Structure 1
């Protein structure tokens, strides 16, 4: 958004995209289309890298095994435990690729919009994680055993439990999905907003600033800084996919851990 006769002013309104088309009164916009596209991309990658598996992997199979091995060994096994981790690897593998693809939409030309900058998407994904680790914990400890496991710290006794139990319940059961979603949303939102600020600012300074002797060099500098921010944002996009997957594995591991 831009003020009249002034520089562009990107903000929350920049994320309110008009509908691309309407189906039965349901307005479908670009982020929703990107979300569906990411499902196709993740499935295609997993299928293409595994359908002709060989003892000596080719390049495509090697890429798939590299990602799968990273998720299985460095995230699932290390945080869930060697006895139970394999059953959760498919979900962790899928969620890592899904978040990664949707994040990297933000630096793909023409698309240039990270899906996870729409708050509803990371919330829905975090709720799926919340459901998985709670169901896993209840399955391991039973309903009341799981509540005790999550709300009563090891070794805590006496009146202090009156304060600790509600806090632990709030922290471990209620707040986790929202902090998980908020972390992913906030970084994607802020990164995209910065790229918008530098790119729109560069265009305004070069083409619309009254003093060309100042506007053109400043616009070029803004454009170069925007490129630098884009590369930094790419690193953050990967890290946020990793962190989301890592925390998911940690939550599952803590939910099914044996009593101490």
Structure 2
């Protein structure tokens, strides 16, 4: 018996979760429109990262223990897997930024499976958009500073091509570099968190509906499937949350490097 048949037999309509999952009213009546749950927990996530690394490195010991040990593991991961492959000798200079971006996004993503919070902050486009824009402003600033205000823009275009080719290549290159690159940098993170949260909400609601809200003999198996899929998808989502933080920070390192040195 499929889910539609079960729903028909129960006499009630199951409504799948939709965009309303991402709509939050102000925290209190009459409060500012921007002061919502995602904003509060975005700030809370920032404080978690600050407190963790302050605890780890404010008074470092020669032999790391406890929080310092965890902090050094995180530092070495970001340095060896993200910083050095893309920034080389410039890695140490940019480690504070890379560490902050990676762990902030990771914490924001993990909030999706934390009880009570249960919402990935990066599934609101404003948050990844601000991070991506910040990284891109740094890239442009570094490019103009290290390559010059003229050469930075001309270095993006390969030399030695026939003149007619430049009429096509220049707009495409600048559109890709200044519009599409930061746009996809933000949207990749946003879209994955948005989709993952929607899927988790759907299957968890299926399990709750058929097992607790409107339990029926026919719907019991559907509810069990919903619970099992929720468990599997939660584990998968934890992996995606980590990977998206990694990819966002990796691209940030690439953009910074392209600002330090000409791309062509």
Q: Please indicate, yes or no, whether the TM-score normalized by the shorter chain is above 0.5.
A: yes
Contact 2:26 2:32 in 1 (8 A): no
Query: Which deviates more, 86-95 or 229-238?
Result: 86-95
Please name the residue that 1:186 is paired with: 191
Residue 81 of structure 1 aligns with which residue? 88
Aligned match of 2:108: 102
Aligned residues of 1:10 and 1:196 also touching (Cα < 8 A) = yes
Post-superposition Cα deviations, 1:118-151, rounded to whole Å, max 9, x if no partner, equal: 111111111001111111111110111111122x
> How many residues are aligned here?
254
Compute the displacement of 1:58 (Å).
0.6
1:255 Cα deviation after fit = 2.2
Q: 1:99, 1:116 within 8 Å by CA — same for their partners in 2? A: yes
**Structure 2 residues not aligned, in runs of 5+:** 1-10
Q: 1:162 aligns with which of 164, 167, 174?
A: 167
Q: Is residue 250 from structure 1 mapped to residue 257 from structure 2 by the alignment? A: no
Instruction: Indicate which of 230, 235, 240 corresponds to 1:236.
Output: 240
Rate the CA distance shift 1:163–1:110 in 2: closer, same or farther, 3 A.
same
Match of 2:65 in 1: 58
Deviation at 1:163, TM superposition (A): 1.0
SS in 2 for 1:21: coil
1:26 deviates by 4.4
| Contact preservation (8 Å) 1:72, 1:89 | yes
CA–CA distance in structure 2, aligned partners of residues 8 and 208 of structure 1: 13
Q: What's the Cα RMSD here? A: 1.8
In 1, are the aligned partners of 2:26 and 2:33 still within 8 Å (CA)? no
* Offset of residue 24 of structure 1: 6.1
Does the CA contact (< 8 Å) of 2:45 and 2:107 recur in 1?
Answer: yes
Higher RCO by CA contacts (8 Å cutoff, separation 6 or greater) = 2
Contact 2:25 2:33 in 1 (8 A): no
Measure how far apart 1:167 and its partner are: 0.7
Cα 1:195–1:48 shift into 2, 3 Å: same
Is residue 67 of structure 1 aligned with residue 74 of structure 2? yes
Could you tell which deviates more after superposition, 194-203 or 155-164?
155-164
Could you tell me the TM-score, scaled by structure 2's length?
A: 0.90
| Partners of 2:64 and 2:34 in 1: CA distance | 44
Residue 202 of structure 2 corresponds to which residue in structure 1?
Answer: 197
Query: SS of the residue aligned with 2:106?
Result: helix
CA 23–137 in structure 1, closer or farther in 2 if over 3 Å, else same: farther
Aligned residue for 1:81, secondary structure, equals helix
Gaps of 5+ in 1: none
| Structure 1 position 207, deviation (Å) | 3.6
Distance in 1 (alpha carbons) for counterparts of 2:87 and 2:142:
11
SS at match of 1:53: coil
